[in-house]
Amino acid sequence: MIVTTAQLFKIAYGRYAIGAYNINNAEQAMGLFRGCVQSKAPFIIQISKGARKYTDKRMLEAIIRAASEIFPEAVFAVHLDHGDEETCYDCIKSGFYSSVMIDASHDPFEKNIEITKRVVDAAHAKGISVEAELGMLGGVEEDIKVEEGNACLTDPAQAEEFVKKTGCDSLACAIGTSHGAFKFKGRQSLHFDVLEKIKARLPGFPLVMHGSSSVPKEEVDRINKAGGAIKDSMGVDVKEYLPAAKLGVTKVNIDTDGRLVWTRVHREFFRDKPGEFDFRPPGKVFMDEYTKFIATRNELLGSAGQLDEVRSKLKK
């Protein structure tokens, strides 16, 4: 069942975080739905601009509709990840999305407000909620690369002003994470001090953590042992998901970790079976492994086991 992102946020706020997982194809969708149903967790499906272009945006929508029929117990929202203004309007018009993200974080503060406000007005007219971003994460996201030196944490005072002026429904804050597999050099913590200050200025307001993959060392080691060359990778400490959730982080975005599962499964499969050329056997292994991965992430986010409560609160 597709619900609104706002409904999920209202139920989860301050208690646990909802996993927001990117999908690009049917195998990811199967693993995601299965993992969330098995762990009894509400979830958010994220579709990036790149995912919409990979096959066709209608293909992804059809996959999600089909998955929703195959898994009638699933409760989820559909969200545009890192949209530009034009893509936001396209998604708002389509009627399929529960929420959109307008990412104008690379623009100056005032311009970010201007663009975000336009999208908020268009989205709210259709009952769709809007995630905006303030501050700048490092790393690569689609066509934009932010060097570490240019990444900057969200300023709490600006966050308050930004939310008041734009009317956005949730805010992606830069609290030390970055996109991709190369987040930190050595173990590092989230900037809980910044989070606390943002929460004090915006009590009850849902915050979003991008770049939340943990980049498990064992996963990277297995990939490298099977012919990969992923070096110096380090992600978010999964033990910090729940403390962040208690400080208002209600949506935790995870994409890279899922890609690592895919890469590990396929590299190991073809290394061990060099004569194989059918994509279905490794595809099946991937769906099973992704199912397990999603379920364990939901446990760490605190969203596992929440489905019955979510369903009963949605009825009220």
Residues involved in catalysis: 81
Q: What backbone phi and psi angles, to 5 degrees, belong to 73?
A: -80, -15
Q: DSSP 3-state helix, strand, coil percentages of the chain (rounded to 5)?
A: 50, 15, 35
129 within 8 A of 6, measured Cβ to Cβ: yes
Binding test (CB under 5 A) with Zn ion, winner from 117, 197, 210, 297 = 210
Greatest Cα pair distance in the chain: 60
Minimum gap (Å) between residue 69 Cβ and ligand G3H: 25
Which among Zn ion, ligand G3H, ligand 13P, none contacts residue 254 (Cβ within 5 to 8 A by kind)?
ligand 13P
Binding test (CB under 6 A) with ligand G3H, winner from 12, 16, 20, 22 = 22
Q: How far apart are CA 44 and CA 306, in angstroms?
A: 14
| 14 vs 50, beta carbon nearer ligand G3H | 50
Q: What is the DSSP letter of 82?
A: E
Q: How far apart are CA 239 and CA 216, in angstroms?
A: 13
Site track for ligand G3H across 254-293, x = CB under 6 A? -x--------------------------------------
Q: What backbone phi and psi angles, to 5 degrees, belong to 4?
A: -85, 155
8 within 8 A of 310, measured Cβ to Cβ: yes
The gap between the terminal CA atoms of the chain, to the nearest Å, is 16
Residues contributing to the site for ligand 13P (CB under 6 A): 22, 81-82, 179-180, 210-213, 253-257
Minimum gap (Å) between residue 173 Cβ and Zn ion: 12
Q: What is the DSSP letter of 178?
A: B
- The footprint of ligand G3H on residues 205-234 (CB under 6 A) is none
| 79 vs 210, beta carbon nearer Zn ion | 210
Minimum gap (Å) between residue 116 Cβ and Zn ion: 16
Asked if 179 interacts with ligand G3H (CB under 6 A), we say: yes
Give the pair of three-digit tokens for residue 83.
């949209």
Asked if 81 interacts with ligand G3H (CB under 6 A), we say: yes
133 within 8 A of 116, measured Cβ to Cβ: no
Minimum gap (Å) between residue 101 Cβ and ligand G3H: 10
Q: How far apart are CA 292 and CA 9, in angstroms?
A: 24
Which helix (H) or strand (E) is 28 found in, with range? helix 26-38
Amino acid code (one letter) for 258: G
Which region among 30-38, 44-52, 88-96, 225-233 touches ligand G3H (by CB under 6 A)? 44-52
Which among Zn ion, ligand G3H, ligand 13P, none contacts residue 213 (Cβ within 5 to 8 A by kind)?
ligand 13P
Asked if 50 interacts with ligand G3H (CB under 6 A), we say: yes
| 128 vs 173, beta carbon nearer Zn ion | 173
Q: Which residues bind ligand G3H (CB under 6 A)?
A: 22, 48, 50-51, 81-82, 141-142, 179, 255
Q: Which residues bind Zn ion (CB under 5 A)?
A: 210
